[in-house]
Amino acid sequence: MLNIAIVGPGLVGGALIEQIAAHAQSPRFARLPIAVVGLINSRKMALSNTAFTAADLAGWQSTLLGDSAQAADLSWFADTLAGIECGATAIVDCTSSDAIAALYPSWLARGLHVVTPNKKAFSGDMSLFREIQKLSSSPLGPTVYHEATVGAGLPVLSTLNDLVRTGDRIVKIEGIFSGTLSYLFNNFSAPGATQKFSDCVAVAKENGYTEPDPRDDLNGMDVARKVTILGRVAGLEIGTDTLPVENIVPESLRDVSTAEEFMVRLPEFDEHFSQLNREALQAGSVLRYVGFVDGLNGQSSVKLARYSLDHPFASLKGSDNIIAFTTDRFPNPLIIQGAGAGAAVTAFGIFSDLIKIAERFGSGLADSKC
């Protein structure tokens, strides 16, 4: 049995709960028993020595974390999880919190596995990253999986890990890592496209593709965190503090007080973006916002770049991500493409990691303690 406790269940955590509940009703469960035993948010928590029932999980917001639930105490929650004797236990951090990411070493030290889409521990302070690596390096466990930190459910980190472990040399990793920026430039910069840049941003915001303040997408820091994670997994000394990042928010709009004011004033800069687009199209290219990991010369970056119309990045549609690995063995890049955002696909990435842990460390239904 692999016991699962979810920290910060929201949209992604809710989708994960649905997928685990469906798994429990499938024939796969007999071979890979995985069950939710704990949930905690900023206010309330619920924890059990046995799996929550299907009925509890179906209405978890009220049945498990409703007003009558126990007050949240993350320290006690982790300590209690570490004491579960039936099978292995994994904590899934579905927050984006720096403070919670900083707890991973203490969880690992207690024998708890960690699975997360939270980028902070893997793109922040290098000492934390190294400590997590050290504590999760034993083949006997515990371990950390974070596939969903880059590309949601796309097999990006698992592919990179396979390349590194088999001794391939990473020449470069290049990709469109932001679903928001993918959508914006796929619609704004394409032959025959007529929408103004501010209109593209407005539509993306209305459809829920952007953060509440689109500047949090346009400043490039989310892409920078993903590039940092990829670089570190590839063995590079890299951090967001030293990575060149092109912030495409117009400088005079970076400090305006509200997202609403930013959106009202963004049309003032439509001509700037249109000029960049015209120059690209006249050269037979399109604009794409990309992250670049340089495995040879230390020139990693995040920037707005041009790509010829016959390049795979130029033909991308919707809000898809695309990542190209160029290595000694793959001089013609190995390309991964697909949905890189959304609750269901992010939950899929987390669930895939949990299955890996269950296969490696889960004791199965035959465990006499269960």
Active site residues: 226
Find tokens 């917001």 and name the residue: 61
Decide if 272 contacts 250 (C-beta within 8 A). Answer: yes
Decide if 277 contacts 189 (C-beta within 8 A). Answer: yes
What's the distance, CA 369 to chain centroid?
A: 35
User: Which two structure tokens, joined as six digits, stand for 8?
Assistant: 């910060």
Q: Which of 243, 218, 234, 232 is nearest to 119 (CA)?
A: 232
Count of alpha carbons within 13 angstroms of residue 183, beta-carbon side: 23
User: Which two structure tokens, joined as six digits, stand for 120?
Assistant: 């902070």
Round to whole Å and give the CA distance between 178 and 193.
20
* Rounded (5°) CA angle 132-135-138: 130
